[in-house]
Amino acid sequence: MRGKTVLIVLVAVLATAASTLVATRAITWSIQDGRIVTASAETDSGEIENKVAEVAIAVGDIEGSSDKEAVTRDDRDPMVKYKPKPKPKPKPASDETSTQPSAPSWPAYTVTMVLSGDNDPRANLRLGGENMSVKLGDEITGGRVIAIEPDGVTIEGEAGTKKYPF
């Protein structure tokens, strides 16, 4: 009787070890499949820029969706379809005109990403809800991109130059 018990325990240990090995291999291979990335020398031209633009759009969507207000348990009924709060309407411009010419205003760009370090630096800028990928010399609202550095993007326009920090 003792021999049968030892044989059953041995078979159970081997079965457990085999299933653990199979599961580990399955998990490891699925992770490796998810990490396969082509080298930059093997990519098609423009593929990296497209991925950069996709990431910038996703980041903009995420940043734009945060409400920054604390949500309490009683804020809304989860069984009722969500309706976003209406956005405040902009105030109409006043009819008053000043005798003093106003200083030119710069667009409110936000630098979301900078790729520098090679001969073709690029950056992603966001203006309102629109994301754009720019390189040196690109004409954009407000002027022309004259510098892309790790700490920001400089634009030259009619009003002079302005550096947007990263």
Q: Kindly report, residue by residue over 3-59, the tens digit of the pLDDT.
A: 889 899 999 999 999 999 888 888 877 665 555 555 555 666 667 777 788 888 877
Place of tokens 């044989």: 7
Let me know if residue 95 belongs to a domain: no
Q: Is-contact 111 118, C-beta < 8 A?
A: no
Residue 31 covered by a domain: no
Q: What phi, psi does 103 have (nearest 5°)? A: -70, 140
**Which range marks the domain in which residue 150 is found?**
46-66+105-166
Q: Is residue 12 part of a domain?
A: no
- CA distances (Å), origin 108, targets 71, 74, 131, 139, 148: 29, 36, 12, 16, 17
- What total of structural domains would you count in the chain? 1
